[in-house]
Amino acid sequence: MRSALSALELLEPRSLSHALALLRDAAPVVPLAGGTDVYVLLNAGTPSGTRYLNLQRLDGLRGIARRNGVISIGALTTFAEIRRSALLARRLPSLVAAAREVGAVQVQNRATIGGNVANGSPAGDSLPVLAASDAVVVLRSADGVRRVPFDGFYTGYRQTVMRPDELIVAFEVPPVPGRQWFRKVGTRAAQTISKVVLAAVRAPEPRVAFGSVAPTVVRARRTESVLASGGTLNEAAAALMTEIAPIDDLRSTAEYRRRVAANLLRQFWTETA
Amino acid sequence: MPTVGRSLPRRDGRDKVTGAAKYIDDLALPGMLHGRTIRSSIPCGRIRSVSLLSDPAGFTVVDYRNIPGRNVVALIGDDQPCLAEHVVRHVAEPILLLAHADRERLLAADVDVQYEPSEPLFDPLRSPKVFKSIAMRKGDVDAGFAEADEIVEGEYRVGHQEHAYIEPNGVIAVPADGGVTVYGSLQCPYYVQKALRAVLDLPADRVRVVQAETGGGFGGKEEYPSIVAAHACLLALESGRPVKLVYDRAEDMLATTKRHPGVIRTRTGVTRDGRLTAIDVDVVLDGGAYMTLSPVVLSRGVIHATGPYRCDNVRVRGRVVMTNTPPNGAFRGFGAPQTQFASEVHMERVAERLGMDPVRLREINALRPGDTTATGQVLGRDVSALAVLRDAVERTDFKRRRRELRGTGRGLGLALFFHGAGFTGAGEMKLASKASLELTERGARVLASSADIGQGSRTVHAQIVAEALGLPFDAIEIARADTAVVPDSGPTVASRTSMIVGGLLRRCADDMKQALGGLTPKEYLKRRGPLVVTRQYEPPTSAAFDEETYTGDAYGTYAWACDVAEVELDPVTYEIRPVRITAVQEVGKALNPVLAAGQIEGGTAQGVGYALLEEVVMRDGRMANAQLTNYAVPTTMDTPRIDVVIHERPYRHGPYGAKGLGELPLDGVAPAIANAVRHLGIDVRAIPMTPERVMEAETGERKKVGSKK
Ligand SMILES: Cc1cc2nc3c(=O)[nH]c(=O)nc-3n(C[C@H](O)[C@H](O)[C@H](O)COP(=O)(O)OP(=O)(O)OC[C@H]3O[C@@H](n4cnc5c(N)ncnc54)[C@H](O)[C@@H]3O)c2cc1C
């Protein structure tokens, strides 16, 4: 542990309104959900702050429910809970598939979907699924609620429209028409960060969202319209190349990511034909 | 009931599983300080100034000027400073040491180091500085090539490998009346003692080294703990307090040794009917900034470079060179995995060139009893190259399965390999290791400096002694590896702990049994008083190894193995997924079959990582992926089903016939997988075979398997 623990402060709100008040009044405060990203930074000695807001007691932020056809997933829902959800298995199987591949079981027991999205890594495995399913991010502050379409949530590498006094409270997912498809490509079979990840939907209006190939998750609209208008797979892959901007990093190369992104697109399209 | 050959439970098992076992970081002593190492941030240059910017109150600060003895890490070349003086030669080179009672104050301490950087050298092929070169010759290679119908050439590359033991390096040093006691996670207590004597200028009886419970080593705790211990001792002596120095994972990966990367060029002459007429190999290993154990790694690499094959005309030239990267060192296999990757992939290419079945080619050339190796060693009866090859081929239905798999996206490949057990050449003679046995009321106590680092040596040594004394397993105790208590049995390395040290213990036990003359231990102690028996290593054969000409008996014996790997290529992601590995390994005698199989499974899994996943990304001489997130060792989900098949062809001089087996399993995995990938038509000659590399080979301009050149 490279961070000084004695310098840290943990705020323990008992209700959502208490938490939101603390966020407003005690800034800067770092929300703490499952801690699986927060603790990695603490261990490395690069913490995001010294004052943390423990969300664990905010039970209102947990759970998966369906209201008026829309599925609401609380921000504190863990990937283990997502894996076990019968509702999601029926309605949003690609989120279940993604949850199954986050880290491994121990991490899934702690890691929350809200943390995955708020952390904002372009390799976050739930992000392409939320992007492809036209999810809405429900944000709350002491001032009230706002709903942001997932596609507009990120503004740049690890940048979001969320304000420091806001929390993600839930994600709302409208019905997804068509067949869902998900595949993660990491450096090994488990405990791995994505090198390329694709969540897609086969429908008259196909949806394609990639992770790990640009500073943010990419909803590949041009690729989608080529596919929707009956273009060939080669044309779709060519369109995709204009929409992604992968880089060389510790885990892979830009060239690999480009090729595999195109291959995944082909695999998705062939398998869902 | 015999004790040897039974899978008795591990002595250390219960404490480790229940968490009762105490590792270094679990220990705390009164008044203890924590230590920290300030390291070079550049690969090469002069140090202009070093200054502690924080308030120095409460800090113990040590640099090279505080070293009472010689500023070296005493090993082979004595070229590595314990603390840099004016020059740094690699990233993470230790410069300054700090200690403080409060870990947080310690970590917050700000040290400014100013450098005058100079141009670093990273390419081993262009390094002018050679730590060691070796030329090994047998017969006349030119004549051998003249006789050949085909000559096959190739260049093979192997990468670094990180040990990734579960417990990082750590020690606690305690100042004690004019000397020091060190508790540490380590493989070789007497290596540490030797290094400390040089740095601290203390006699042996003032330097006590005690092995703490150790969470894995794989060679990574062979030479490196000497540095950690020296640093902790300097701080302890300066402060007069116990000092704990434990690396975290990132520091351990950044600073400590790795397996040597290498470039191996091979040229082979062969007749049309498959007989090898000449083998010419050029081995270049990247030693990193200092010599460490590089000369011996090279030596083993060179000796294993021709693979387990007979050939009358051999030339192997090797050199290990300096680059401005952290020093590389001992790692399970010690040069043999590097050169046998090359030799076995090359053999496959020879078979392809001849259009010959790869099994047939190996059968024709495999070493047999009575053959001479590349060093001219005449092999005894315990040669099993053909036996393991044939069994592996039969069990996997190799030839039929190869045909069946054609065009399915799966490939099947094999590798035949061997591993010399114990120190190379005259090494064991020079070591002259000792082990003792002390009679106790219930039985006997083993006194040996062998370190149980998870491989189960406590259990196996107790089994050997119990068997020889005809006493129950529980009647045998094992003393801690503590230089104040046990004699120097040599380091816990080189697959020598069961075979060599176990052999000494076997002889001690035989002597003790004779001394007892039918009395029980209790009766003996009562009537005759204490009894301690000591044995020292004696060479089993007279054909001494000549280090000048590189001829003679390089090892007491060899263990033999054949791995068959079935792999699947994912055409979307270019991932090679190992589906199944059959590991047929001849180990003389499996003293404890479960532990033996565990070594084979573990070594095979580590070989899977070496072959496919583990890539040290070096950027400007710095390991850029010094985290277990980005340096991918295989998880159980990446490890295929492993069918372990143990053959036993007893070694005359091993205890109950045992040969060394710890390293063998790692040697053949990468070439077996690479040959399975070749079977898929993909020509990869470098490891790790990451998807990125496979993609290049598959889609690039590079030649495919089968095409000439
Ligand atoms: C071993 C390991 C393996 C991993 N493998 C994967 C993987 O395969 N795929 C993957 O995508 N990720 C992986 N991760 C990363 C991590 O587990 C996920 O990103 C996880 O979803 C984070 O959730 P958490 O609840 O633990 O977040 P925390 O660590 O508690 O928080 C993460 C960030 O989100 C903020 N935050 C959390 N909740 C909220 C909220 N409700 N509102 C506003 N801000 C909030 C926090 O302030 C912090 O900045 C892995 C991590 C580890 C340690």
Give yes or no: residues B438 and B572 share one domain.
no
Does the CB of A41 have a partner CB in chain B at under 8 Å? Answer: no
Strands of the sheet containing B476-478, edge to edge, are B476-478, B444-447, B434-439, B532-536
**Protein residue closest via CA to atom 52 of ligand 1:** A36
B346's tokens: 């090359």
The minimal CB distance from A250 to the residues B571, B574, B617 is found for: B617
- Contact assignment for A44 to B632 by CB distance below 8 Å: no
Which among B231, B255, B279 is the end of a domain?
B255
pLDDT of residue B541: 72
Contacts with A34 (C-beta within 8 Å, 6 or more apart), sequence order: A78, A110, A111, A112, A115
- The structure tokens 């899934």 sit at A108
Interface of A with B in 105-144 (CB under 8 A): none
Q: Tell me the three state secondary structure of residue A117.
A: helix
pLDDT of residue B707: 47
Using CA atoms, how far apart are residues A220 and A239, in angstroms rounded to an integer?
A: 9
Residues of chain B under the 70 pLDDT cut: 542, 701-709
Using CA atoms, how far apart are residues B171 and B23, in angstroms rounded to an integer?
A: 10
Give yes or no: residues B587 and B628 share one domain.
yes
Of ligand 1's atoms, which has the minimum distance to the CA of residue A124? 11
- Contact assignment for A104 to B624 by CB distance below 8 Å: no
Question: Per-residue confidence at A128, pLDDT binned at 50, 70, 90?
Answer: very high
Cβ of A4: how many Cβ atoms within 10 Å?
Answer: 17
Q: Tell me the three state secondary structure of residue B547.
A: coil
Beta strand pairing call for B170-176 and B179-184: antiparallel
**Cβ-Cβ contacts under 8 Å, B104 against chain A:** 4-7
Give yes or no: residues B304 and B212 share one domain.
no
* Nearest residue in B to A256, CA atom: B692
Measured in angstroms, how far is the CA atom of residue A111 from the centroid of ligand 1?
A: 6
B543, part of any domain: no
* Nearest residue in B to A101, CA atom: B637
Using CA atoms, how far apart are residues A118 and A160, in angstroms rounded to an integer?
A: 8
Does the CB of A10 have a partner CB in chain B at under 8 Å? Answer: no
B226, part of any domain: yes
Q: Which amino acid is at B682?
A: I
- Structural element, H or E, at residue A86: helix A86-91
What are the pocket residues of ligand 1 if the criterion is a CB atom closer than 6 Å to any ligand atom? A 30-38, 40, 48, 55, 75, 102-103, 107, 110-112, 114-116, 118-119, 124-125, 167-168, 191, 193
pLDDT of residue A249: 95
Does the CB of B637 have a partner CB in chain A at under 8 Å? Answer: yes
| Cβ contact A230:B666 at 8 Å | no
Label residue B297 exposed, middle or buried (CB < 10 Å: 0-12, 13-18, 19+). Answer: buried
Does the CB of B248 have a partner CB in chain A at under 8 Å? Answer: yes
Using CA atoms, how far apart are residues B370 and B367, in angstroms rounded to an integer?
A: 8
Give yes or no: residues B169 and B58 share one domain.
yes
Distance from CA of B495 to the nearest CA of A (A): 30
B177's tokens: 């009346």
- The structure tokens 């290791």 sit at B433
**Protein residue closest via CA to atom 3 of ligand 1:** A103
Give yes or no: residues B430 and B532 share one domain.
yes
Q: Which amino acid is at B60?
A: T
pLDDT of residue B48: 98
**Cβ-Cβ contacts under 8 Å, B107 against chain A:** 2, 4, 45
**Helices and strands, counts by H and E, chain B:** 19, 25
Strands (E), chain A: 9-11, 30-32, 51-54, 64-67, 70-74, 136-141, 144-149, 154-156, 159-160, 167-173, 179-186, 194-202, 207-211, 218-219
- Contact assignment for A189 to B699 by CB distance below 8 Å: no
Of ligand 1's atoms, which has the minimum distance to the CA of residue A31? 47
**Helices and strands, counts by H and E, chain A:** 11, 14
Using CA atoms, how far apart are residues B255 and B622, in angstroms rounded to an integer?
A: 9
Give yes or no: residues B488 and B530 share one domain.
yes
Using CA atoms, how far apart are residues A217 and A214, in angstroms rounded to an integer?
A: 7
Of ligand 1's atoms, which has the minimum distance to the CA of residue A123? 11
B522's tokens: 């209790």
**Protein residue closest via CA to atom 43 of ligand 1:** A167
Backbone angles phi, psi at B32, to 5 degrees: -70, 140
Cβ of B144: how many Cβ atoms within 10 Å?
Answer: 24
Does the CB of B125 have a partner CB in chain A at under 8 Å? Answer: no
Give yes or no: residues B523 and B570 share one domain.
no
Contacts with B152 (C-beta within 8 Å, 6 or more apart), sequence order: B267, B268, B270, B346, B349, B350, B353
B680, part of any domain: yes
| Cβ contact B265:B281 at 8 Å | yes
B139, part of any domain: no
Q: Which amino acid is at B696?
A: E
Report all structural domains of chain A as residue ranges with CATH numbers, in order of start: 5-54 (3.30.43), 59-173 (3.30.465.10), 179-271 (3.30.390.50)
Does the CB of A263 have a partner CB in chain B at under 8 Å? Answer: yes
B132, part of any domain: no
Give yes or no: residues B250 and B267 share one domain.
no
Please, what is the Cα angle at B322 between B318 and B326, to 5 degrees? 120
The minimal CB distance from A188 to the residues B104, B248, B634 is found for: B634
Using CA atoms, how far apart are residues A124 and B229, in angstroms rounded to an integer?
A: 41
Strands (E), B400-550: 410-420, 434-439, 444-447, 476-478, 532-536
- Whether this prediction's pTM lies above 0.90 is answered by yes
Measured distance between the N- and C-terminal CA atoms of chain B, rounded to whole angstroms: 60
* Nearest residue in A to B609, CA atom: A188
Label residue B18 exposed, middle or buried (CB < 10 Å: 0-12, 13-18, 19+). Answer: exposed
Distance from CA of A246 to the nearest CA of B (A): 14
What residues make up the domain containing B439? 13-21+426-536
Q: Does the N-terminal peptide bond of residue A28 adopt cis geometry, omega within 30 degrees of 0?
A: yes
Give yes or no: residues B416 and B447 share one domain.
no
B685, part of any domain: yes
Give yes or no: residues B337 and B303 share one domain.
yes
Q: Tell me the three state secondary structure of residue B691.
A: helix
**Protein residue closest via CA to atom 18 of ligand 1:** A116
Label residue B387 exposed, middle or buried (CB < 10 Å: 0-12, 13-18, 19+). Answer: middle
Strands of the sheet containing B45-52, edge to edge, are B87-88, B45-52, B111-117
- Contact assignment for B107 to A190 by CB distance below 8 Å: no
Cβ of B371: how many Cβ atoms within 10 Å?
Answer: 17
Contacts with A229 (C-beta within 8 Å, 6 or more apart), sequence order: none
Provide the domain count of chain B: 3
| Test site for ligand 1: of A83, A107, A167, A197, most ligand atoms within 8 A of the Cβ | A107
Using CA atoms, how far apart are residues B280 and B342, in angstroms rounded to an integer?
A: 12
Q: Which amino acid is at B375?
A: T
Which among B255, B273, B300 is the end of a domain?
B255
**Cβ-Cβ contacts under 8 Å, B632 against chain A:** 187-188, 192
Concatenated DSSP letters of B251-282: HHHHHS--BPPEEEEEEEEE-TTS-EEEEEEE
Does the CB of A273 have a partner CB in chain B at under 8 Å? Answer: no
B140, part of any domain: no
Q: Which amino acid is at A122?
A: P
| Cβ contact B331:B161 at 8 Å | yes
Q: Tell me the three state secondary structure of residue A174.
A: coil
- Contact assignment for B625 to A250 by CB distance below 8 Å: yes
The minimal CB distance from A187 to the residues B248, B632, B637 is found for: B632
Does the CB of A190 have a partner CB in chain B at under 8 Å? Answer: yes
Residue B399 to residues B344, B362, B415, B679, Cα–Cα distance (Å): 18, 14, 14, 12
Give yes or no: residues B289 and B375 share one domain.
yes
Concatenated DSSP letters of B39-69: E-SSSSEEEEEEEE-S--TT-EEE-GGG-SS
Q: How far is CA B246 from the centre of its chain?
A: 22
B518's tokens: 């039918």
**Protein residue closest via CA to atom 15 of ligand 1:** A37
- Contact assignment for B637 to A190 by CB distance below 8 Å: yes
Does the CB of A187 have a partner CB in chain B at under 8 Å? Answer: yes
Please, what is the Cα angle at B67 between B62 and B69, to 5 degrees? 165
| Cβ contact B131:B322 at 8 Å | yes
B256's tokens: 């400590």
Q: What is the CATH number of the domain that holds B522?
A: 3.30.365.10
The residue count of chain A comes to 273
Contacts with A232 (C-beta within 8 Å, 6 or more apart), sequence order: none
Give yes or no: residues B410 and B526 share one domain.
no
B194's tokens: 């030797």
CA dihedral B58, B61, B66, B70 (to 10 degrees): 130
Which among B235, B255, B275 is the end of a domain?
B255
- Contact assignment for A188 to B250 by CB distance below 8 Å: no
Label residue B165 exposed, middle or buried (CB < 10 Å: 0-12, 13-18, 19+). Answer: buried
How many residue pairs from chains A and B have C-beta atoms closer than 8 A? 62
B146, part of any domain: no
**Cβ-Cβ contacts under 8 Å, B572 against chain A:** 260, 263-264, 266-267
